[in-house]
Amino acid sequence: MLTRTHLAGWCFALMALVAPSAGFAQAAPGSAQQQAERAATQPGNNAPVWREVRSGQANYTTAQGREAGVLVQSSGDTWRQIRNGPITVYGGWLVVLVALAIAAFYLVRGPIKTHDRPTGNLIYRFSVVERWAHWTLAISFCLLAVTGLTILFGKHVLLPVIGYTLFAWLTLLGKNVHNFVGPIFMASIVVFFLIFVKDNWPSKGDLTWIASAGGLFTGKHVPSGRFNAGEKSWFWMGVVFLGIVSSVSGLVLLFPNFEQLRLTMQQAHVVHSVSGILFMTLSLGHIYVGTIGIEGSYQAMRTGYVDESWAKEHHELWYEDAKKQGANRPAAGGGAVPAGAAQARRDE
């Protein structure tokens, strides 16, 4: 009885006999007679044949293109194990544990409020251009994060719940959203960097802020400029470094028609996944502080204005400079004053 293994051995032997000069001989070690003898004396043992096939060495093929002559690329299995192993397991738990830690901190600490009551005197903090740059980056990032999590972890989390049909449709939609939103995110990083880099250089007092974690646990006031050391760290480590790494590796995956090797694509996927998970993890802290973590922070990016007491407590050095420059007045082209600000007291 002939088995599939027998047939494979005889096929390689036949190819070696018919076209030894075409490159098939390199795919099967030994002579055709040795191949035939192995198929007869050791049925089911074609280890030399498959060892040669999986070597990654290019042989003859009529197809054109890089690696077209490589029948099996064994490193693809290594990439699959890394993707479905450490990246999925450790990366997934990292995102979950950080989210749980933030939730627990909020339940214990609650939102951080200013010690002084709001004065009603609003200070201009972010212009319309700055807010547009921020929200473009933030919204595109959130879309990439949600779709990326679906693609990476959906098979383990969503598939058992919603079934194959809905999961396939959802993942296909997520993949297309991810691909088309990616370039918008990359462009927004460049704009965001050019707008905010001038206020994110290290300055005096940053080490003091880091040593006390900005008073997050003690509630003690720590003076800072327009952006504190925590925000600067997020800017350089998150937006700039991880943003660039995610963008470059994403471009390698997004345009495979530039003839990248399969190994290059696999390496780019690992880098993209790891940097994306770290980016999302860091963003959870930034999103928390900018919304429910610190009272009044969201208003700054939504309307462009903050109350004088908030500015003095969280960014005292910037507050003093802003008062000297008359920042309690809307900047030219800065947009309308938010609701209620027209009745607010303003120092002339």
pLDDT value at 190 more than 50? yes
Contact 242, 271 (CB under 8 A): no
Residue 206 CA to residue 213 CA, distance in Å, equals 10
Q: Is pLDDT above 70 for 113?
A: yes
- Residue 50, pLDDT above cutoff 70: no
Confidence of residue 340 (pLDDT cuts 50, 70, 90): very low
Mean of pLDDT values over 163-178: 94
Q: In this structure, what are the phi and psi dihedrals at residue 236, rounded to the nearest 5 degrees?
A: -80, -45
Reading the block at residue 177, the tokens are 């959203």
Q: What is d(CA 20, CA 62) in angstroms, rounded to the nearest whole number?
A: 16
Q: Supply the pLDDT for residue 53.
A: 67
Q: How far apart are CA 35 and CA 45, in angstroms?
A: 11
Range 199-221 average pLDDT: 79
What domains are defined for the chain? Answer: 1-72 (no CATH), 75-343 (1.20.950.20)
**Mean pLDDT along residues 172-180:** 95
- How big is the chain, counted in residues? 348
Q: What is the bridge-based pairing of β-strands 305-307 and 122-124?
A: antiparallel
pLDDT digits (tens, 9 = 90+) for 6-40: 445 545 444 444 444 444 434 444 566 676 777 77
Q: What is the pLDDT of residue 217?
A: 67
| pLDDT value of residue 55 | 67
> What is the per-residue pLDDT across 117-143, written as a single tens digit (0 to 9) for each?
888 889 999 999 999 999 999 999 999
For residue 59, what are its two tokens? 């042989």
pLDDT confidence of residue 31: 60
194 confidence band (pLDDT: 50, 70, 90): very high
**75-82 vs 262-288: helix axis angle to the nearest 10?**
10
In 3D space, the residue among 27, 66, 68 whose CA is nearest the CA of residue 48 turns out to be 27
